[in-house]
Chains A and B, each alone.
Chain A
Amino acid sequence: MKETMSLPPLPDSAITIGLRVDDWQGAVRAAGQALERSGATTPEYTDRMVGVIEEFGAYVVIAPGFALAHARPGSDVLTEGLSVLTLAEPVAFGHPHNDPVQVVVGLAVTSSDEHVHFVAELANVFNDEQVIPALARATDADGIRSLLGATASNGEPS
């Protein structure tokens, strides 16, 4: 349990800070577009992330103010990836306890196995209850990466 399982790289292109959106669809699409920009996914994956919530509801809002947008692995996932979106004004996703959402992490994985190992690291990071509000307040990409313990590219920590 204690070993460090590193997160996928989080380049500037995968980080969007202080965006204004009209609704949860806008938030999820922005998180998806950040995954596209970073080269992790194609636009079809973004559509599927919206589709998961349309089908199953706002269960991706797994903590107060926080959504983990994702869909199943598929051919529209080119490589594993993460994106981070913070909103200027929080939006409701329709979750009974955790709305409104101000921080969205987009997640793309190529197989369920690979997924489980860096999801454990995401859990490590977010088990600190200060991290979500700190992400919401972060003003630059380095601040976001530092809170998550992520790097801008594969290789040495930034």
Chain B
Amino acid sequence: MKIVTICGAGIGTSGILKVNAERALERLDIEADITATDVASVGVVAADAQVILTSPELVDRIGKTNADVIVIDNYFDIDELAAKLEIALG
């Protein structure tokens, strides 16, 4: 299982999303490899990903992908992350 978190600069917000997605997955008892990257690299980095996590502001920039794109509103809300990941992965 590969999950990619996306932000504009590839640092900062995607890093926070990665850390908290790992916490949510731990709660769900799901193993996954999570990579933080930027929008410009998403085509390459997420080519073999099952899930892309990002902000509502960046969804339109992701382009074509086979991954499920999950939009997270509050990056600090582990409940939101766990609920959305559970739906996507369940």
Main secondary structure of the interface of A (DSSP, over half): mixed
B8 pairs with A68, CB closer than 8 A? no
Count CB-based A-B contacts (< 8 Å).
94
A119 at the interface (CB under 8 A from B): yes
B77 pairs with A62, CB closer than 8 A? no
Could you say which interface size class chain B belongs to?
Answer: 20 to 34
A42 at the interface (CB under 8 A from B): no
Q: Which residues of A contact B26 (CB under 8 A)?
A: 1
Q: A98 to B77: give the CA distance in the assembly, Å.
A: 13
Q: Which residues of B contact A97 (CB under 8 A)?
A: 56, 73-74
A sample of 26 cross-chain residue pairs with beta-carbon separation below 8 angstroms, ordered by A number, consists of: A1-B23, A55-B8, A56-B8, A56-B58, A56-B61, A57-B58, A59-B7, A59-B8, A60-B13, A62-B76, A63-B77, A70-B11, A95-B55, A95-B56, A96-B56, A97-B73, A98-B73, A109-B12, A115-B12, A116-B18, A119-B11, A123-B16, A123-B19, A123-B20, A127-B76, A129-B77
